[in-house]
Structure 1
Amino acid sequence: MDGATLEDRYTLERRKRLAAERTLERTRTELSRAYRALVANADRLSLRYLSEREANLRLTDRQRAILAQRKEAAEKADRARRRLWHALEAMRDGFALFDTNARLVAANSVYLGLFDVASEIGPGASAEELFRVAAEEGAFELDGEPDEWVEAQLARWKADRIGSQILRTYDGRTIRFQDHRAPDGDLVSLAIDLTEEQAREDSLAAARDAAEATARAKQAFLARMSHEMRTPMNGILGLSEMLVERDLDPEAQTFARTIRDSAEALLTIVGDTLDVSQLEAGRVEIREETFDLEALLIDCIRLSEAARKGRPVEVVLDYPLDAPARVAGDAGRIRQIVMNLLGNATKFTEAGHVLVRAVLSRVEGGVRVVIDVIDTGPGIPEGQRETIFEAFAQVDAGRPQAEGTGLGLTISRGLAERMGGTLIATDPEEGAGSRFRLSIPFRQAQDWPARPDLPALAVPPDTGVQGDVLARRLAAAGVSVARAREAAVAVVPFGEGAAPQLPEGVPTVALGPSDRVPESVGWRLDLPVAGAELLAALRAVQAGGPVEGDVRPRILIVDDNATNRFLLERMLSPQGYAMELAEDGSTAVAAYRNRRPDLVLMDISMPGMDGFEALAAIRALEEERGGTAAPVIALTAHSGAEIEARLGEAGFASHQKKPVRKAELLAAMADALGAGRG
């Protein structure tokens, strides 16, 4: 080293210095890298701290919000509890809640007050304590001993299904307890005060009983008055009608007609008043029976003949030939409605015709019948087609002033509605006259018949409305209507107006009265004619069958009133009946035993053996003989559903109300005689 030159030493120092500088540079670089790493780590820590601090701040705000919400919810719940409790306290009825161990949780003062323990028992008390204190204090009227009552109450609460019970408090209040067990086992008990409601019900029941008693008294009075008025009017009407039929001078004839018309008007008022009273009281009974609807309409048309009083008004029946005639319903009420409609139609029609048209259609469970009564009178203004159904209402515009109560249509609509039907005044045909439509459901009592199998028939063109309706009936049933020369049989109606010309060389069935039909016609049927009768006659004429003659019927007349016997005998003598008279029931039975009549007219109110007893004796007599009792028509001054039901149960064929109307009696006799022969 000592031998080294200065240059060598210098080179060595230089090398050391360069090495130190390189070491220093490396150290500086490492320190710089470490510093940067330290700064980056510090930044990360700072960011993490700030993030965590911000999250902590957010969590604190949420906690405060949650706490605020909880506080607000608690305040709302407390407010709701207070409101609920105030509402329960304000209730006029009692409320209580018991837990699963039947201990009182809460109850309003009304509930506790019912048990008379408001100051002694509160929440935590058992139901047994509550009931026992109530029993000992006499809070309720008990059935039996207090211990038994308490046990009954506890047993009631233990039942699976707790029924309601009614208790009366010591001060006369009526309380109904309704208890319900909740799904969690708690029991809610309601005590409902029925005192005012019970008082109202008692008041209504008393008012109802009083109204029913008044209605019964009114009904009894009207029925009694109807009976008392009909009995003397029987003689007035019957004798006045006989006087009208006699050959009197014009003045006497006017007097007789006035007496008869006045008596009939009074009788109508009596009947209408009784019917309206029964409808208002809801005492109208609807009885179902099987009857011939077509025959009923025919009877109504024949009975309406007297109301026409000689006016040129023709009443025509349009009943389908291929529809059932027998239905099940209340024949009496249907007759009453149709007679009322026919009476109005004929009363307001001075000339022309009245058409009674029936349309039958199948409905579920039976048949619906629509009956139109159409007239050619002055009609009803459209604005009055509803008001005419009001009591005492009549149409004035364009119509003659009518006598009567104005109750007929009111009664008819009420009866139709009681039978599940309707009655309306609807648009007339061809813009003239009026049309009333009755629609009633019936239970079908007869199968729909097959369409008639007939050859071509002829209906002359000059037979008026009867011919038009007949041709329509035949065509609707599928029967061909042709000219006379092409037809196998001719059908010639003889209605109002000129007599039609009979077709030559064609078998003919004439329809009309005997005084209008030429004797040369072998087959004649009265108008209106039933479809079955017409079809049978057409088939018989086509086959060349003979015409059967009538047999003179024997009539037994039974009435304890000599005037009534005289009246009936004189009324029926022009009809050619063979008649026998009896003044009481026992005499009638003896006359019947001696010789069986074809028909009996029997008064039901007679001293000794009355009509019911006489009929029973006649039926017993025929049972001994092994025969069939003759039909008996009851004659009665009584009216109402009760007497009609009793007559039907006794076995009377039908009944006639006094005063007896000749046309109605003859129609009933014809029906009974026809049924008796069949």
Structure 2
Amino acid sequence: MDLANKLAEERRARLAAERLLELKQAELSAANRKLGRHALALTKQVGATQAEMATVRDENEKVKSDLTVANEKIEIAERRLWLSIQAIQDGFAFFDADSRLIGANGAYIDFFDGLEEIAPGVSYMRILQILTDEGLIDTEDRTPDEWRAMMTDRWLSPTPEPVVMRTWNDQYVKLIDQRGHGGDVVSLALNITSTVRYEAQLREERERAEAANRAKSAFLANMSHEIRTPMNGVVGMAELLADTDLTEEQRLYATTIRHSGEALLVIINDVLDYSKIEAEKLVLHPEPFDLERCVHEVVTLLQPTARDKGLTLLVDFDLFLPTRFVGDPGRVRQVLTNLVGNAVKFTAHGHVLIRVTGVPDDNGGGAVHITVEDTGIGIPADKVDHVFGEFNQVEDERNRQFEGTGLGLAISRRLVEMMGGSVWVESEEGAGSCFGLRLPMPGGDSAPPAPPHLDGRLTHVLVVDDLEVNRTILERQLTALGLRVTACCSGDKALETLAGEDDVGLVISDHNMPDMDGLELAEAVRAAGHRTLPFLLLSSAPGLAESEAGRRHIQGVLQKPAPRGELFAKLAAIGGLVAEPPPRPAEPLPEMTETAHPSDAPRLMRVLAAEDNRTNQLVFNKMVKDLAIELRFANNGEEAVAAYRDFGPDLIFMDISMPGMDGKQATAEIRRIEAGTGAHVPIVALTAHAMAGDAEDILAAGLDHYLTKPLRKSLIHDRLAKAEPPGVRPVFAGARGTPADSETTDSPAQAS
């Protein structure tokens, strides 16, 4: 048993050991499996890490490759930049924040004439020292120390100002320095020698041009004086000669002389005006003025010429446009005179029409639109663009039909542009032209003339005119006033209309018409039984119409073209709202006789004329010979001052250019004498000077008025009338004409 027990125990022990071994084997297998799994995970992790390392290695290689390429590109760019900097003809340098040279191109280094010290590392202050010590620059009026201090202060400023240096060999270098955020400085040394010399050359040329312009102005002023002085004798004598008893042939000769002289004056004025515009010395003088009156003054001035050619001058002034504007009336009148004068000159048959309207301005204001239309020769299409050029004429130079300088339109264009406006032309050869201008002129302080309030008293107007354009203008104006208008082209048509119409309240007829003129029509209207029908006559020569026998058949004569105010006044009078006073008979001036109370007779007006030219003295004397004045002449300024003391004149006409003491000096002496007495005698300048500034200089010298030669009798009489003191014998007593009878329109230079 013991053995069996022992075997059983051994068997049990062996089984237990086997079970333990199996257990340990199972644990070992589990551990192996776990270790295998862990090993597999580590293997995968190592593989991933190796892949990542390979990727990083590849990326690193790419970065290294890109960096190498970038470095190569940077080297290439730096090399190109440096080569470009070296190629610059001007100096180029870099300085660090401590003002030490980093690098510079050859042009900058060469400026120091090969000095070895000028190299990277040298300070800017040392460079300034070298410049002065080596005498490389001209410090002008500064000492070397002062110059270096000035340049150092400039260098240390946050924004150094450019400075120009003059070198020892007469070169000019402009330094431009730009400071960066880190304190580094980029410095440019620009060689501006050619620019400086070019500017100096321009200054010299400008000075020569100004000297030449002054010489030209002096020449023109002298020539104007030299031409106008004898022209005063020519035109003045011709005007006086025309006032004498002449045969028709002699009067033709005298008139031709006067017209030729006046034509020469127009040329002189054109040349002087163009010279002033060219030198930019022509000054505008804006002031409130009556534009409608200005237009009609131009028409009145040119009416005789147009009438002699059989032309009709017409004005179409917008009924509701204000009459006063702010501008230079003299220059506006000059432009209109030129445009209308050209239209009359180049028109052989038909009419010349001036239209004036208001148009909106680009700035919200208003502008005046003026056109001058004619039925003349027109302008060829290939020459339209050249009519405003200097010295241009429309006709061929080989066959000049019309006289003139060719400056008028050029001057007009420049004047209009100076006034801020524009000018243009539309034309068709053989069919006439239309010149237009647009002037931005502010409105004045007046409204347009108030239209008449007819209140049904006048409803139907018959207009008779052989010219269609004038019928159209009148019809449009009268229709705008609320009137019914019937227009006829002849007297016969008008009589037929009156026979079939019983409500016509007014007839407005042109004076000069073919077959039956206006006065003959008025007589025929009366003969037809219309004895109370009001009849108005439009005439370009109202004085002539007033003197004709048929005047008794009409109620009034209107200047053709008629200003709006006059037309409105006539319509209102005929409408029964305004009683038109009958014309007053002219009162004869009292005749002065030598035997009528000589002791009580008033004294004569005393007039002193200072003039050194004997011919001009003769002309002046003849112009005033019929006037009741006491005239004395002085041959120079000294005689004028002496005559002022002894003669006590009421008015002095003073020539400006006289030998010895001239007119300005004589006036100054007279004004000095007057300062102690409180008196003031009017002094009128008589001068042949008509250049820019002459009028201002003369008036500033103490003279009161300014007239240019050749003198006009009407202007002399006008000054005498305005200066006539109270208590003297009437200056125009017994004279054949008064200033009111003469044309007193001054030229821009003559207006005082």
Coarse TM-score class (shorter-chain normalised): 0.7 to 0.9
- Answer yes or no: is the 8 Å Cα contact 1:104–1:122 preserved in 2: yes
Q: Which amino acid aligns with 2:435?
A: F
Return the offset for 1:284.
Answer: 3.0
Q: Which amino acid aligns with 1:384?
A: K
Supply the distance in 1 between the matched residues of 2:509 and 2:109 (Cα, whole angstroms): 93
Are 1:127 and 2:124 an aligned pair?
Answer: yes
Give the SS at the match of 2:181: coil
Give the SS at the match of 1:514: helix
Partner of 1:184: 182
Per-residue CA deviations over 1:316-353 (Å, capped at 9, x if unaligned) read 22333433333332223222211111111001222222
Give the SS at the match of 1:640: coil
Partner of 2:526: none
Report the identity percentage: 34
- Answer yes or no: is the 8 Å Cα contact 1:314–1:495 preserved in 2: no
Give the SS at the match of 2:308: coil
Return the offset for 1:424.
Answer: 0.8
Partner of 2:445: 446
1:591-630 correspondence runs (5 A): 604-605=656-657, 610=663
Give the SS at the match of 1:95: strand
Say which of 293, 296, 303 aligns to 1:295: 293
Q: 1:144 to 1:239 in 2, by over 3 A?
A: closer
1:634-673 correspondence runs (5 A): 635-647=686-698, 649=700, 652=704, 655-658=707-710, 660=712, 670=744
Partner of 2:543: 514
Supply the distance in 2 between the matched residues of 1:302 and 1:368 (Cα, whole angstroms): 25
Say which of 352, 374, 399 aligns to 1:354: 352
Are 1:137 and 2:131 an aligned pair?
Answer: no
Are 1:98 and 2:95 an aligned pair?
Answer: yes
> What stretches of structure 1 of length at least 5 have no aligned partner?
673-678
Q: Which amino acid aligns with 2:633?
A: E
**Mean CA deviation greater in 460-469 or 615-624:** 615-624
Return the offset for 1:439.
Answer: 1.3
1:2-151 correspondence runs (5 A): 37-115=34-112, 118-142=115-139, 143-151=141-149
Supply the distance in 2 between the matched residues of 1:612 and 1:323 (Cα, whole angstroms): 48
Are 1:583 and 2:633 an aligned pair?
Answer: yes
- Answer yes or no: is the 8 Å Cα contact 1:230–1:659 preserved in 2: no
Q: 1:413 to 1:357 in 2, by over 3 A?
A: same
Q: 1:309 to 1:319 in 2, by over 3 A?
A: closer
Per-residue CA deviations over 1:197-224 (Å, capped at 9, x if unaligned) read 0011111111222222222222222222
Q: 1:577 to 1:370 in 2, by over 3 A?
A: farther
Q: Which amino acid aligns with 2:464?
A: D
Partner of 2:198: 200
Give the SS at the match of 1:371: strand
Partner of 2:154: 156
Return the offset for 1:226.
Answer: 2.4
Partner of 2:464: 462
Q: 1:319 to 1:556 in 2, by over 3 A?
A: farther
Partner of 1:166: 164
Partner of 1:546: 581
Supply the distance in 2 between the matched residues of 1:157 and 1:148 (Cα, whole angstroms): 14
Supply the distance in 2 between the matched residues of 1:651 and 1:269 (Cα, whole angstroms): 28
Say which of 264, 276, 279 aligns to 1:278: 276
Q: Which amino acid aligns with 2:170?
A: G
Return the offset for 1:79.
Answer: 2.3
Q: Which amino acid aligns with 1:636?
A: T
Supply the distance in 2 between the matched residues of 1:432 and 1:473 (Cα, whole angstroms): 26
Supply the distance in 2 between the matched residues of 1:372 and 1:400 (Cα, whole angstroms): 26
Supply the distance in 1 between the matched residues of 2:587 and 2:133 (Cα, whole angstroms): 92
Give the SS at the match of 2:543: coil
Per-residue CA deviations over 1:489-527 (Å, capped at 9, x if unaligned) read 887664666216568646777654122142566655544
> What stretches of structure 2 of length at least 5 have no aligned partner?
487-497, 523-529, 590-604, 635-639, 719-738, 747-752
Q: Which amino acid aligns with 1:106?
A: G
Q: 1:579 to 1:80 in 2, by over 3 A?
A: farther
Per-residue CA deviations over 1:284-323 (Å, capped at 9, x if unaligned) read 3333333332222222112213433612212122333433
- Answer yes or no: is the 8 Å Cα contact 1:115–1:130 preserved in 2: no
Give the SS at the match of 1:389: coil
Per-residue CA deviations over 1:11-43 (Å, capped at 9, x if unaligned) read x99x99999999998888777666655554443
Partner of 1:393: 392
Q: Which amino acid aligns with 2:416?
A: A
Supply the distance in 1 between the matched residues of 2:562 and 2:669 (Cα, whole angstroms): 35
Per-residue CA deviations over 1:407-441 (Å, capped at 9, x if unaligned) read 22122212222222211102689x94211001122
Q: 1:543 to 1:626 in 2, by over 3 A?
A: farther
Say which of 518, 522, 533 aligns to 1:499: 518
Supply the distance in 1 between the matched residues of 2:253 and 2:176 (Cα, whole angstroms): 77
Supply the distance in 1 between the matched residues of 2:533 and 2:380 (Cα, whole angstroms): 47
Partner of 1:676: none
Supply the distance in 2 between the matched residues of 1:556 and 1:545 (Cα, whole angstroms): 41
Q: Which amino acid aligns with 1:469?
A: I
Return the offset for 1:462.
Answer: 0.5
**Mean CA deviation greater in 25-34 or 193-202:** 25-34
Give the SS at the match of 1:394: coil
Q: 1:270 to 1:661 in 2, by over 3 A?
A: farther
Partner of 2:732: none
- Answer yes or no: is the 8 Å Cα contact 1:312–1:496 preserved in 2: no
**Mean CA deviation greater in 455-464 or 144-153:** 455-464
Return the offset for 1:546.
Answer: 3.2
Q: 1:633 to 1:671 in 2, by over 3 A?
A: farther
Per-residue CA deviations over 1:122-155 (Å, capped at 9, x if unaligned) read 2222222121222211121123332222222222
Supply the distance in 2 between the matched residues of 1:661 and 1:530 (Cα, whole angstroms): 28
Supply the distance in 2 between the matched residues of 1:537 and 1:346 (Cα, whole angstroms): 29
Q: Which amino acid aligns with 1:658?
A: P
TM (norm. structure 2) is: 0.73
Q: 1:619 to 1:138 in 2, by over 3 A?
A: closer
**Mean CA deviation greater in 347-356 or 478-487:** 478-487
Total equivalences in the alignment? 657
Q: 1:435 to 1:656 in 2, by over 3 A?
A: farther
Per-residue CA deviations over 1:49-89 (Å, capped at 9, x if unaligned) read 22222211111111111112222222222222222222222
Partner of 1:409: 409
Q: 1:54 to 1:643 in 2, by over 3 A?
A: same
**What RMSD, in angstroms, separates the aligned Cα atoms of the two structures?**
4.8
Q: 1:232 to 1:159 in 2, by over 3 A?
A: same
Return the offset for 1:92.
Answer: 2.2
